[in-house]
Structures are given as C-alpha cells and as structure tokens.
C-alpha cells in the first residue's frame, strides 16, 4: 500500500506537469486542446533529438525541448486557433484533433515512428529507502522539478504583468480589452506557456520511459482526467489532480490491471456527475 502511494505520487508529478498547460488553455482561451498530448510527445522527442543528435547536455536539451514546444504552441495559436476559437466548441475540438494528427504525422516523418528514450548518467545513487519503499533517485528529481516548475508557473501567473493579463482575459475578455490588453497576443503567450510546460513534461518523461509519436492521445486523455479531478482551469487543481490521478491510476494498475482504464474512467464519471468543478475548481467549466 505504501509502495502504491509513493510511486503513484511520483508519477503524479509528471501528470500534473503535463496538465498545467491543458488547464491554462482551457481556463484562458476556453478551448479543449486535443493537440496537447502531441505537444508533450513533441517536447520529449525534441529533447531526445537535441541530446543524442547534437550532444547537447540534458539540462540544455530539456530547456530547448520545452521552449521549442512552447514556440510550436504559439504558432498553432496564431495560425489556427486564433481564427476559430470563437466558433462552436465542437469545431475547435475537431480542429485541435486535426492539429494533433498533423503534428504527429510530421513528427513521424522527421523522427520515425519508433519509440525513443534518453538514457542519463546522473551520477546519483540508484535510490534510497523511504520506510519500506525503494525510491529511485531520478524519479525524485523528476518529482522535484515538477513541483518547482509548478511554483514557477504560480509566480508567473500570480505576480507578473503577463500573469495579470492572462487572468484578466480569463475572468472577463471585454474588460481586459477595454483595459488595453491585446487579447490575441495574450492568447499566444498563453499557448506558449502551455506548450512550454507540456514540452517540459515530455522532456522529463523521455528519461523514464520510451516516447513515440503515436502515444500523444493517451497524454491528452490523461491531462483531461487530471483537470477533471483537480478542477477545470485551476492551476492548483491541476497539481492536486495530477497527484491524485497518479495514485489512482497506479493503484488501479497494481490491484486490477486488466480493468485499470475502466476504473480511472469510472472515477472521471463520478466526478462529472457529483463534482463537475473538480476538487479545487470554482465552478463547472462554462464557455465564455
């Protein structure tokens, strides 16, 4: 039981990292970005490519992968989403689904369809005992990065001018525009931030497990589950949701592996019925 809790929380850090951007885009731009999983995978593969092909040190490759993904997110926003996000939600959903397919196919063309992983020599000890549980060192590093990056995101959103603009756009677009905030630019920056954090999640995950273009959809679904549990549009909710989802999915896979997906989706249904705003959401997601 202790093992399940510890390993679930460690995995939850990555899920939260991936879900921050998904939650941000949903809260600010008001769209369900089905291309989000493709951004996570893109970040992982770009990091691996920079490290293996050009010998870039991992820390630099990770930053490059995250920023490159952020840039891709901003391009997607400027070229596609900016032109359609005011349309019917279904149209935007289909559009982002199409973008995910295009990004995945281009990724396959460029990097191939095979799974890739980045092996790191950290010099760290293999791990340490926490009670009766063996905790791998690098898992803990990844978890710490998740928490630190969450803190950075909170600071950016809560303490900077850019964060204030984002929050203003989220709360009331018309008032934000009347206050001189450029809606289009703010949305682009939001998508950049979302992509950067998605890319960071991919960059971390590629050191733990193989990543391939075809895996994008499960990341989108997992991110969706995380913010449904944690609270739609809430950053703190994404963090808590990620940790809860990590424990939940790990427990389901451990105790009942053959029906694990049914269990996690069952919990999603329970949340949607009894607490649609999630654990920390202020209210049900309503399209502005």
Partner 1 sequence: MLDRAAIPRRPSRRAVLKGGVLGAGALAVGVALPRIAGAAGGADGVVHIGASLPLTGPYEKVSRICKDAFDFWTRTYDGKMVVAGRERAVKWTIYDDENNASRAAQLTEKLISDDKVDLVVGTYGTDTVLAQGAIVRKHGRVFVQAGASSIRVDEELGGHTAFTANGRVGTYCAGAMDFLASRTPKPKKLGLVIMDDPVYHEIGQGVKDKCKQHGIDVVTEVVLPMNVQDLRPTALKLRGAGQLDIVYNTGWDVICIKLAEEMSAIGVNPKAFVGGHLTTSPVVKETLGSKMQGIIGSTVWLPQFKYRDDKYASAQEFAEKFKATYGYLPTYQAAFSYILPYIYQQALREADPQDPFNPKTLRDRLSRLDLKDTIWGPVSFDERGRIRRDAAPAVQWTGDPAAAVIVAPADMAESAGVYPKPAW
Contacts to partner 1 by CB under 8 A? 3-4, 7, 11, 113-117, 119, 126-127, 134, 136, 138-139, 208-210, 212, 214-215, 218, 249-250, 253-254, 257-261
Q: How far is the CB of 163 from partner 1 (least distance, A)?
A: 33
* Residue 126 or 180 having the CB closest to partner 1: 126
* Residue 259 or 270 having the CB closest to partner 1: 259
Q: How far is the CB of 164 from partner 1 (least distance, A)?
A: 38
* Residue 113 or 175 having the CB closest to partner 1: 113
Q: How far apart are CA 268 and CA 16, in angstroms?
A: 16
* Residue 215 or 267 having the CB closest to partner 1: 215
Q: How far is the CB of 251 from partner 1 (least distance, A)?
A: 8
How buried is 178 (Cβ within 10 angstroms: 0-12 exposed, 13-18 middle, 19+ buried)? exposed
Q: How far is the CB of 16 from partner 1 (least distance, A)?
A: 15
User: 240 CB contacts (<8 Å, ≥6 apart)?
Assistant: 229, 230, 231, 279, 280
How buried is 27 (Cβ within 10 angstroms: 0-12 exposed, 13-18 middle, 19+ buried)? buried
Contact 271, 232 (CB under 8 A): no
> CA 128: distance to chain centroid?
28
Q: How far is the CB of 259 from partner 1 (least distance, A)?
A: 8
Q: How far apart are CA 151 and CA 174, in angstroms?
A: 29
* Residue 3 or 56 having the CB closest to partner 1: 3
């Amino acid at each position: 039981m202790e093992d399940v809790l510890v390993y679930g929380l460690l995995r939850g850090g990555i899920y939260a990292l991936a879900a921050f951007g998904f939650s941000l885009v949903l809260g600010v731009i008001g769209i369900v970005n089905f291309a989000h999983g493709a951004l996570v995978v893109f970040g992982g593969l770009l990091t691996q490519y920079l490290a293996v092909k050009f010998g870039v040190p991992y820390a630099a490759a990770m930053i490059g992968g995250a920023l490159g993904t952020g840039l891709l997110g901003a391009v997607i926003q400027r070229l596609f989403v900016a032109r359609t996000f005011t349309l019917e939600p279904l149209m935007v959903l289909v559009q982002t689904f199409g973008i995910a397919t295009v990004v995945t196919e281009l990724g396959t063309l460029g990097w191939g369809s095979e799974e890739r992983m980045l092996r790191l020599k950290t010099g760290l000890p293999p791990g340490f005992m926490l009670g009766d549980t063996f905790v791998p060192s690098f898992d803990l590093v990844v978890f710490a990065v998740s928490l630190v990056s969450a803190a950075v995101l909170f600071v950016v959103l809560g303490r900077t001018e850019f964060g204030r603009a984002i929050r203003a756009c989220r709360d009331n677009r018309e008032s934000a525009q009347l206050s001189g905030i450029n809606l289009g630019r703010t949305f682009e920056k939001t998508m950049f931030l979302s992509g950067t954090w998605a890319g960071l999640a991919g960059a971390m995950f590629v050191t733990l497990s193989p990543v391939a273009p075809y895996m994008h959809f499960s990341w989108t679904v997992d991110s969706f589950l995380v913010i449904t549990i944690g609270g739609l549009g809430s950053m703190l909710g994404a963090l808590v949701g990620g940790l809860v989802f990590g424990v939940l999915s790990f427990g389901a896979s451990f105790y009942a592996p053959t029906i694990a997906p049914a269990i996690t989706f069952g919990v999603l249904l329970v949340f949607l019925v009894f607490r649609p705003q999630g654990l920390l959401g202020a209210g049900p997601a309503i399209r502005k």
